[in-house]
Structure 1
């Protein structure tokens, strides 16, 4: 078998998230269906994704891996991306496919995930062509206030107040970047990067920051919730439509894939 890295983009509006679910349309589902139509049932195995995005969340930099029979990869490598484009729906694309070592693990070898959240506070709402990927906020937002509030999340913390807790899973995460900018078109964009995220964590952080950015909460309020050891009922989860997974990082040296995966598994344990 040959391990193949796939770089994937999708508009999450009509998907029930990444993970395959019975009788629901998911990104993994349409990708698996396309691979089966191309290679036959059960030929492609071990589909593993870097980040299992929730329903309605988009991606421009998602990464997954799959194991293909050697002979199929040798035959299809030059044309796999184009063939998948003809088999997949228009709201999901495989942008690149390349062979990687068997030590590569799209999930555990990753060193970071980077998301962007787009918000507009324009009085008319989101631009029609951007409406599926931009949240329309009904109150004016101040970039400096948003950035001041965001600083409290940087570093390693227990984000229990901002996570949907899973049994036997840690809520400790290390955020290496969280900042806001206002683009020339007036759209506000939050960029957040960490080694990994809990379920709904990014949208919860954004939801808390927005209430500080529009003046309804003090600047230090979002970070003050880090003292909680249970999910806070005061935090409103921001809608999925504004969130996009834009990048996943991996060691530059392929020889480090295995050691990174081993380290990640220990941390998650």
Structure 2
């Protein structure tokens, strides 16, 4: 009889048709579909853990999950079997054995990277409407870049989100960047040790207000210092957000 082995996987999914990542009894979720697939493939009830519990409509190209299973065939066979049984909007893009039995995708991570996509043009896109936030008025991207730099470092982000547990709202942002891809396609990239609930979407929405001239650049510092969720803009739409990378210490990946 095969012994259980711990596996980690990089997962890509289109979040449009999901009620978020986390398992819910009466709703279609990413976790629910993965666990249903694993049961079909292995004939065992398996619970997965994940790096992040993305909201309804949020996408991922770099979500990380882990699970234990006794599998007597090759790693490639397991990945093929999983992908053959997953719905078309979820893919295991990588699958590895994990040598550290207590590896946890969330608690072992040292940083997460998200991207947020904005379509800044007068007309919406029928194709991109599920994958980017349409802003029809011109944005001052240079101002948005300047505002983004004010967020870098260890700061109290209570004005931009709620902690998943406890009361600590201090997070360390290590990277922010805006890319212009042409045809009004803007990509905001942000890396931090961890994020508060809806933090990236509220940051993006506030930066958009800076880019539109609704919020002065200097006011961003005041918003941070207020430590009040109502001081920042309401969250930007979920459709533009992607979890793209989770980073771990070298000995774990």
TM norm structure 1: 0.88
Q: Which runs of 5+ in 1 are unaligned?
A: 258-269
1:167 deviates by 5.2
The reply to whether residue 32 of structure 1 matches residue 35 of structure 2 is yes
User: 1:52-102: per-residue Cα shift (whole Å, max 9, x none)?
Assistant: 111110000111111112xx1x32522122211221111111111110121
Give the aligned partner of residue 185 of structure 2: 187
Deviations 1:238-260 (A, max 9, x none): 00000001111111233xx8xxx
Q: Secondary structure at the match of 2:250?
A: coil
1:229 to partner: Cα distance: 2.9
Match of 1:249 in 2: 247
Aligned-partner Cα distance in 1 for 2:230–2:179: 27
Give runs of ≥4 in structure 1 deviating > 6 Å.
none
Give the SS at the match of 1:63.
strand
Counting only pairs closer than 5 Å after superposition, residues 1-269 of structure 1 correspond to structure 2 as: 1-42=4-45, 44-45=46-47, 47-69=48-70, 72=71, 74-101=72-99, 102-126=101-125, 128-166=126-164, 168-254=166-252
Whole-Å Cα distance in 2 between the matches of residues 220 and 52 of structure 1?
A: 33
Q: CA deviation at 1:227?
A: 1.1
CA offset digits 1:101-159 (Å, max 9, x no partner): 21422111111100000101111223x33221111002111110110111111101111
**Is residue 143–residue 181 contact of structure 1 (8 Å, CA) maintained in 2?**
no
What is the distance in 2 between the residues matched to 1:223 and 1:49? Answer: 33
The aligned length equals: 249
Question: CA contact under 8 A between 2:133 and 2:240: conserved in structure 1?
Answer: yes
Q: In the alignment, is the contact (CA less than 8 A) between 2:16 and 2:58 conserved in 1?
A: yes
Aligned 8 A contact 1:9 1:61 in 2 = yes
Gaps in structure 2 of 5+ consecutive residues: none
SS in 1 for 2:91: strand
- Distance in 2 of aligned mates of 1:220 and 1:241: 29
Relative to structure 1, the CA distance from residue 3 to residue 174 in structure 2 (aligned partners, 3 Å threshold; closer, same or farther) is: same
- Structure 1: how far apart are the matches of 2:247 and 2:56? 23
CA distance in 1, matches of 2:38, 2:198: 29
Q: CA RMSD in A?
A: 1.6
Asked whether the 8 Å contact 1:4–1:100 carries over to 2, the reply is: yes
